[in-house]
């Protein structure tokens, strides 16, 4: 599948019905994953609050992991060192081991596993990796999935707006800075990583209200102030919207507002994700770099193996 077909596949992925059937009690949930796989742990951590849940994108597991923990490893390849390391540690603590993967060593280590289609870039399989978590912990109504399908399809058909943003970034050599807010802080981070991997550009992120306690200073007085292009997501939280407005007013910066056509959680989540898919893909085309190329990451993994 070429990369644009991978992007267009996202709307099919949100129909993925697999879930974990858990017929035992557990106290807490830990999700371990890196990069394009790990992001789904960050997304669910922001959304699901009924039980303690933490997402780890690092080596090591918390001290509280025990036989009452659901420990979920997420790795598209199934061979990511940090994730495998943590799964082995969680096994030693007798946690319930769950996995979402297209194969690899991870699938052999899990008590319960969901195998997803292979052959995609990990970051293009975000739907396949996120849906089993949502289906298990916070199911989405079919009608919402249908609406989201239509929304993503319309973006697949027309994304001139995203191409214009990519051109603006390219023509001005801008460094993108994405300013998110709950429950889409993780999506701001996903934008950053999509710029990194697809467009091979640096990008930075922060979120409201935290950035009002640090990044607000360089917003007004940064060295090379004109080299950054800021994005914010529209917010239906009046305090966050007020912060966005006042931050622009007092710093003199004007943010590019990415406005979702709906405030419904799932639709907005995938709208914002797909928006960045296309901006970063278009920027790769304009820069004449291959959006699928992650050879430096692969070389690093080989050297560490």
300 belongs to the binding site for ligand PA5 (CB under 6 A): no
Mind telling me the catalytic residues? 197, 213, 301
- Three-state secondary structure string covering 235-293: CCCHHHHHHHHHHHHHHCCCCEEECCCCCCHHHHHHHHHHHHHHHHHHHHHHHCCCCCC
32 belongs to the binding site for ligand PA5 (CB under 6 A): no
SS3 at position 129 = helix
What strands lie across the sheet with 28-32, from one edge to the other? 53-56, 28-32, 69-75, 96-101, 112-115
Q: Binding residue for ligand PA5 (CB under 6 A) from 68, 77, 135, 237?
A: 77
| Distance in Å, CB of 275 to ligand PA5, minimum | 18
Kindly identify the residues of this chain, within the stretch 176-205, that bind ligand PA5 according to CB under 6 A. Answer: 197
How would you classify residue 224: left for phi > 0, otherwise alpha for psi between -120 and 50, otherwise beta? left
34 belongs to the binding site for ligand PA5 (CB under 6 A): yes
122 belongs to the binding site for ligand PA5 (CB under 6 A): yes
Q: Binding residue for ligand PA5 (CB under 6 A) from 14, 35, 43, 191?
A: 35
280 belongs to the binding site for ligand PA5 (CB under 6 A): no
Per-position x/- string for 82-111, each x denoting binding to ligand PA5 as judged by CB under 6 A, each - no binding: -x----------------------------
Are 54 and 26 a contacting pair, CB within 8 Å?
A: no
42 belongs to the binding site for ligand PA5 (CB under 6 A): no
Looking at the Cβ atoms of 122 and 176, the one nearer to ligand PA5 is 122
Binding-site ranges for ligand PA5 (CB under 6 A): 34-37, 75-77, 80, 83, 121-123, 197, 294, 297
């Amino acid at each position: 599948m070429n990369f644009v077909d991978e992007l267009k596949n996202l709307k099919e992925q949100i129909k993925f019905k697999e879930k974990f059937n858990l017929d035992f009690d557990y106290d807490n949930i830990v999700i371990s994953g890196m990069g394009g796989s790990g992001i789904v742990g960050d997304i669910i951590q922001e959304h699901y609050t009924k039980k303690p849940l933490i997402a780890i994108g690092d080596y090591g597991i918390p001290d509280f992991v025990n036989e009452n923990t659901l420990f979920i490893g997420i790795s598209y390849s199934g061979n990511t060192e940090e994730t495998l390391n943590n799964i082995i540690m969680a096994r030693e603590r007798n946690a319930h081991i769950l996995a979402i993967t297209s194969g690899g060593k991870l699938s052999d280590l899990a008590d319960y596993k969901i195998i997803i289609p292979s052959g995609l870039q990990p970051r293009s399989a975000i739907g396949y990796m996120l849906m089993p978590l949502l289906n298990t912990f916070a199911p989405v109504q079919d009608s919402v999935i249908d609406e989201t399908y239509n929304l993503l399809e319309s973006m697949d058909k027309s994304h001139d707006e995203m191409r214009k943003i990519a051109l603006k970034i390219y023509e001005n050599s801008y460094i993108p800075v994405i300013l998110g807010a709950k429950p889409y802080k993780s999506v701001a981070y996903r934008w950053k990583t999509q710029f990194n991997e697809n467009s091979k550009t640096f990008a930075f992120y922060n979120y409201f209200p935290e950035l009002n306690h640090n990044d607000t200073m360089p917003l007004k007085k940064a060295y090379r102030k004109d080299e950054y292009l800021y994005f914010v997501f529209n917010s239906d939280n009046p305090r966050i919207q007020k912060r966005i407005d006042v931050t622009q007013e007092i710093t003199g910066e004007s943010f590019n507002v990415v406005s979702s056509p709906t405030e419904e959680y799932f639709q907005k989540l995938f709208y914002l994700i797909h928006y960045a898919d296309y901006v970063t893909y278009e920027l790769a085309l304009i820069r004449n770099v291959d959006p699928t190329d992650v050879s430096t990451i692969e070389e690093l993994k080989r050297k560490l193996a």
